[in-house]
Structure 1
Amino acid sequence: MAYEEIPLGQIHPTGWLKQQVDVMVKNSTGHLDENHKKIKTDNGWLGGKGDDWEETPYWLDGALPAAYLSGDSALIKKVLNYVNWTLAHQRPSGFFGPYSKYEKETGKMAETGDQAADWWPRMIMLKILQQYYQVSHDPRVIPFMTKYFQFQLKNLKNTPLVKYTEWAQSRGGDNLMVVYWLYRQTKAPFLLELGDLIYSQTTNWTDLLGNRDWAIQAAYQQNDQHWMDRHAVNVGMGIKLPAIYSQSKKDPHYLQALKTGFRDLMTLHGLPHGMFSGDEDLHGNDPIQGTELCATTETMFSLEQIISITGDTEYMDALERMTFNALPAQITEDFNGKQYFGMANQVEVKRGVYSFSLPFWRGMNNVYGPYSGYTCCTANMHQAWPKYMSHLWYKTTEGGFAALVYGPNKLESSLASGVKVQIEEKTNYPFEDQIQFNINPEKKQSFPLEFRIPSWCEEAIICLNGKELQREKGGKIAKITREWNRGDQITLQFPTKIRTQNWGKNSRSVEYGPLIFALKIQEDFQKNVHPQEGEYFEILPKSDWNFAVLKKFVDKPAENAQLIKKSFPGNFLWNQESAPLEIVLEGKKLPDWKSHAGVAYQPVTTRNGDYLGPAEEKIEKIILIPFGFTRLRIVAFPVVK
């Protein structure tokens, strides 16, 4: 592994990230079990007859780290009820979790795989227990996992992952990840044998990614053949499989397949906000396609694992891009409502079919609501921010620390020698381009620190105690090894320019640092109630959105746009009022660019990027804000002269 993960509990969010996790805990993350009937009623993960599948562990997979990151004692107590029930009710055979159909009908404990139940939701609970062990060192966890993995090794040949559902087959990489984590703790040889068995029964994401036909075919094939291989959430989980398996095989083939496939995925299906399309299937790079929220949260987690294994800055850049753009735009500012599918160019939010490959007969996939669309995302959205916060630092192979993605936090960890180190990362990144690290070992100590330089930064300036120390090119890792004293300070300066990038249908995005900017549209929120899916919001535009940017801006963006920095909000929320940055530039309205059934289909442009249809002569000033603060927006712009 290029880097080792920092255990949960050693990284503490501060600044706007602490405000983010506090909003979550105050609202749905802290109270989903009180409000979501599926989790609230007679829960199977507490021994009842209710939810015995994925939604309860999905919620816990975010609620547990959020509880410890926020320090909220009520939520810690709440999540430990589920953890303790799980640990206390493992069967003698090693099987665990909600009682299986066989167990409920016979009153006997499951002894074999065919008496057990779906492997998939137990994979999520294993992730939860891994995090719990990191923060607690509870002596029950290692024997519990060992016993369950012995049960799997004994039974998977006759009761394979696919026995109960195809979800387990598609998502076996999550199972494998914890098997290898346990191997690093115990070195038990049987775990490597089990790892090979799980890999052989899991969808072969290595071949799909490396052989290329998969990503190409998914751009045009939308039928029911092999659709589980195109399901965006499966893809988000599956991309980490070759990286995880490479840990035991030491063969460059696996990481090369990942590299090839990830680039194909983002080229053929990538959208300006940093995620690939998936509504529910992969659906090309047209900016009016949707992305499922679960796909974003799972892709983020996969990238956090891939970063640890590969040390490749390409994945670090990708993680920041989707975290700061795609993720927050699809969740309401109070973290109570979400969109099942969100579009890059989104000019209305309303009940309807839009251009999704999964229409869903109630037409509720695009609206914001706690339970609108499928409720998998209601439960799974909670892991995204806490997992990002708990991966702001990694340990290096030389015994130091690496900041590979950024945000305000405080690290409290120890060196191999036992010397305690505290590092405070002070910044409003990504809304500013400077990051200050205050380094405080408990005594003078030599160790390396590593810092990723984002690829969008041409050259970073690194200062030590106020004096320039070195410069480093974008896309590189800067390494500083020295004897650190209490009070030492490292400052990273990332000179940042407004830039543009070409996307699907020959459209252009406007970018600044890791942030993607979108047209600020006046939003009219309308609250409604659906008889089956409860409260939801529709959002309609109150201002024009059909703007193109000018060719002169595309040619020289820094010279033809103005960046406006506003006061950073004391109460940080992902809404238009809180946006601390604006970009002002010139545009023209396109009278023929209108929405059809709520979809703003992209105007056709020539190969040189110009839209040749009618455009109003009048040049207007248009205001753009970071994508994450929008619910309606244009982010992929046509270009006119």
Structure 2
Amino acid sequence: MLYHQIREKRKVATLRTEHELKDYSRQVETRINKVTWLPAARWLPLALLLSISLFVLWMQLGGRVPLFQCLEEILRRLAFWPFDSSSSTPNVTSLAPYIFQPLPLGSIQPLGWTNDQLKLMADGLAGHQYDFYHLVHQSPWIGGNSEYSVLNEGLPYWFNGLVPLAYGLNDSRLIAQVEDATEYIVAHQWEDGWLGPEAPADRDLWARYPLFLGLIQLVEADITQANRVVPAMYTFIDLMHSMLVENTGLTQIWGRVRFPDMLISLQWLYENYPLGNQTMMLDTMSLLESRGFDWSSYWTEDNFIFVDLDTIQDDIDGGSPRFPFVHGVNAAQGLKAGATIYRYTGNDSILQNNRNGVNWTFSYHGDVAGSIIGDERETGLGSNRGSELCTAVETMYSMSYLYHTLGDNYFADRCERAAFNALPVSITADHWARQYLAVASEPYAKPLSGENPFWNVGDLGIIYGLEPNYPCCTVNMPQGLPKFLSASFVQIGDNDLGHALLGPAQVSFTTKVVTDIVITCTTNYPFSPVLYYNVTTTSPFTFYLRVPSWSVLDNSSITVNDNEAIPLTPDPRTGMMPVLLGFGTSAVTYTIGANVRVEQRANSTIAVYYGAILYALDVGQIVTTLPNSLYNASYSNASPYDTSAPLIPNEVHDFAFTNTESWNMAIDISSLTFHTTFNNATEPALKNPIFDYQAPPTYISGKGCEVDWPLYNGLPAPLPALPEGVRHRSCTGNVTDVILRPYGSLKNHMAELPTVDLSIS
């Protein structure tokens, strides 16, 4: 089922931007809701059934909704069957517990390269959008009039990411931004409870989802905010409940397909600030699920799309009932759907379905760097197709949530892969520019002309800048690494802690049985296999260390206080390895064995990994500064860039990255050798910024040669599949040395490579 043909360009250019898709979605729903009436002889049974259904639904809504609106809802349900959810308020008194309880925001502080990266974020685009970027600085959420979509999602996206960045760093300047925005939003809550700038006739719930995720993090980090934030949230939830009962508030597909995000916030309130609202909260969760699209129905063998969407007869475009599930960002956010439903229903029968959905998504649409291929819409596994930066950060969040909730080691592995590869490759080393779309076969990141290989992304989709192609990734990218940090340590049971997502950090926490624990992890992981822990505790506890599934256990070990090394026997499902620690201070050294490994990709190509890092071919790099391609300058339907906003900082530019060496290379797998500048002695600090070109201390050397590899619509074409019985390509050039470097440090690169066997050349 792997994509092995150059696809024909489909005629879908009428919707060129996500802006058009979003603004078009209401028209789509109207078109979908139209039905073709049966011949006259069949009208009477249908009319009778429709009348009964109309009356029943009207009675369920208490007679408060006009009959024509009930009719519209019945037709909508028919159009989207079998993808509509159906649920009733569960008879539960508590939520299903996490396998690994996340810690409150602020419990974990960054160290080492993670701290460097977060400070670069604070000093870069993420930390200054509130100062100058008109879609945040002059958002209608805080009294302005600048927005890129009728969804009004710009500031909520930014807020959801800035809160964990501000409190992860304990940065007073960023905290002031968070507090300022919060104060305005809460102070301007509508009398009926609505949060946001929309008048009653224009209200859609979706943008409240990222806002609420930001608000619950804010209250976790600063409990003094609870007195004003929690009542405002409940006042809104009461209104939302009424809207859902009356079947209003979900006018666009985005709120219906991304409902798991709001379930997370409601469940957090249910557990931390119930305030006697438990029944209403459970009913609201049930209503959200029932009004939303049913991910469990899509994740079935009958409905899931296992093939490249460009090769199937049915055109899955914005008007298709399956489109909401194959939109790349939706797919990333939806990966946690079953787990969020399980927590409030206790229905564990949906969990295997959720696991299937994750496995199938990555197996048939997964990006080599850990994200999901979807240049707006999913395709297959083509190496010249792209993954949005929004998709990368949403994938990270979904995978960390799934690991906390279900405990499968696979989810943590996927989260780390995206965090160490898909995320950094799309952001410049200084964090002042970002890419909309990352491509595995991307020897240059420059403007494309004419046709491009993407489904619905423009010619500026792979350059770096303030807002090339579409602004959503600018405001949504801040959540990536800060949320990874806040998810890294977890509570296990009543008295134990675990390191779930590995990296340098310090955690200070008091367990449920009042054990005070401080753990400092000093490490260059994932660029080094060794993690050093200094642990201080007021009473004995078990410290759990996650062992990635790619680990070579024979070369891995744990030592405590220089005692004899403990061989690793991690739990086969969670990957957690228990280490018993006594009262006082302990020193723990954790070494993770790794080797060069190869994963098969489409079209007889491979990807090369060492540990959690993807290694790509270094094709040389020239950086060119380009004029800023402001969103309204790129697309005629955009609102003008607000010239009254503060001037764009001098640091903000568009950039192109081009190659200086041949990119059409095949490699001999047997020649690959891993190298590091570290040794067994104390490791020096990593370079800062670590994801700059050639900054990482590791690389892989090997041998390769040029092969026949044409371009297709501006980027390297997917290679044809090899004939049966043939395993390697044929050289068209001389054998030469090749260097592979960490993918995140190469803004132009070749990450999916064909192979040659030089021993028979």
TM-score by length of 1: 0.92
Match of 1:524 in 2: 622
CA distance in 2 between counterparts of 1:461 and 1:169 reads 47
Paired residue for 1:223, among 305, 311, 316?
Answer: 316
Match of 2:43 in 1: none
Q: Are the aligned partners of 1:565 and 1:582 in contact in 2 as well (CA < 8 Å)?
A: no
* CA displacement at 1:101 relative to structure 2: 2.9
CA distance in 1 between counterparts of 2:103 and 2:658 reads 43
1:452 aligns with 2:546: yes
Match of 1:110 in 2: none
* CA displacement at 1:58 relative to structure 2: 0.8
CA distance in 2 between counterparts of 1:569 and 1:398 reads 36
Match of 1:541 in 2: 659
1:569 aligns with 2:686: yes
Match of 1:27 in 2: 124
What pairs with 1:406-421 in structure 2 (closer than 5 Å)?
Answer: 406-421=502-517
- Specify whether residues 127 and 478 from structure 1 end up closer, same or farther in structure 2 by C-alpha distance, changes over 3 A only: closer
Match of 2:704 in 1: 587
- Specify whether residues 437 and 58 from structure 1 end up closer, same or farther in structure 2 by C-alpha distance, changes over 3 A only: same
1:75 aligns with 2:174: yes
Match of 1:237 in 2: 333
Paired residue for 1:629, among 735, 740, 745?
Answer: 745
Q: Are the aligned partners of 2:260 and 2:336 in contact in 1 as well (CA < 8 Å)?
A: yes
Structure 2 residue identity aligned to 1:541: N
Give the unaligned 5+ runs of structure 1. 103-114, 554-559
SS class of match (1:438): strand
Match of 2:280 in 1: 190
Paired residue for 2:361, among 265, 270, 293?
Answer: 265
CA distance in 1 between counterparts of 2:661 and 2:407 reads 45
Match of 1:508 in 2: 606
RMSD value, Cα: 2.0
Q: What are the Cα deviations for residues 357-393 of structure 1, in whole angstroms up to 9, with x where unaligned? A: 1143xx2111111110100001101110100111111
Deviates more, 1:467-476 or 1:64-73: 467-476
TM-score by length of 2: 0.78
* CA displacement at 1:581 relative to structure 2: 0.5
SS class of match (1:525): strand
CA distance in 2 between counterparts of 1:304 and 1:612 reads 39
* CA displacement at 1:475 relative to structure 2: 6.3
Match of 2:9 in 1: none
1:132 aligns with 2:248: no
CA distance in 2 between counterparts of 1:562 and 1:143 reads 56
- Specify whether residues 116 and 571 from structure 1 end up closer, same or farther in structure 2 by C-alpha distance, changes over 3 A only: same
Q: What are the Cα deviations for residues 139-161 of structure 1, in whole angstroms up to 9, with x where unaligned? A: 22332222222211122122434
Q: Are the aligned partners of 1:279 and 1:358 in contact in 2 as well (CA < 8 Å)?
A: yes
* CA displacement at 1:476 relative to structure 2: 4.8
Q: What are the Cα deviations for residues 540-592 of structure 1, in whole angstroms up to 9, with x where unaligned? A: 21111221112544xxxxxx5242336653423311131210111111221x2
SS class of match (2:104): coil
Deviates more, 1:12-21 or 1:339-348: 339-348
CA distance in 1 between counterparts of 2:383 and 2:725 reads 19
Q: What are the Cα deviations for residues 322-367 of structure 1, in whole angstroms up to 9, with x where unaligned? A: 110111001111112111111011112122243111143xx21111
* CA displacement at 1:608 relative to structure 2: 5.0
SS class of match (1:275): coil
Q: Are the aligned partners of 1:272 and 1:344 in contact in 2 as well (CA < 8 Å)?
A: yes
Paired residue for 2:243, among 134, 138, 155?
Answer: 155
- Specify whether residues 479 and 471 from structure 1 end up closer, same or farther in structure 2 by C-alpha distance, changes over 3 A only: closer
SS class of match (1:622): strand
CA distance in 2 between counterparts of 1:371 and 1:156 reads 34
Match of 1:111 in 2: none
CA distance in 2 between counterparts of 1:5 and 1:416 reads 13
Structure 2 residue identity aligned to 1:446: P
CA distance in 2 between counterparts of 1:609 and 1:134 reads 57
CA distance in 1 between counterparts of 2:250 and 2:663 reads 47
Q: Are the aligned partners of 2:243 and 2:249 in contact in 1 as well (CA < 8 Å)?
A: no
Q: Are the aligned partners of 1:212 and 1:261 in contact in 2 as well (CA < 8 Å)?
A: no
1:302 aligns with 2:392: no
What pairs with 1:118-517 in structure 2 (closer than 5 Å)?
Answer: 118-137=204-223, 138=225, 139-163=227-251, 165-187=252-274, 188-211=278-301, 213-216=303-306, 219=309, 220-221=311-312, 222-224=315-317, 225-226=320-321, 227-352=323-448, 353-360=451-458, 363-441=459-537, 443=538, 445-459=539-553, 460-467=556-563, 468-472=565-569, 476-480=574-578, 482-517=580-615
Which structure: larger Rg?
2
SS class of match (1:253): helix
CA distance in 2 between counterparts of 1:160 and 1:117 reads 8
Q: Are the aligned partners of 2:407 and 2:573 in contact in 1 as well (CA < 8 Å)?
A: no
Structure 1 residue identity aligned to 2:486: S
Q: Are the aligned partners of 2:527 and 2:696 in contact in 1 as well (CA < 8 Å)?
A: no
Q: What are the Cα deviations for residues 379-434 of structure 1, in whole angstroms up to 9, with x where unaligned? A: 10111010011111111124311111111000011111333211001100000011
Structure 2 residue identity aligned to 1:146: Y
Give the unaligned 5+ runs of structure 2. 1-97, 635-651, 679-683
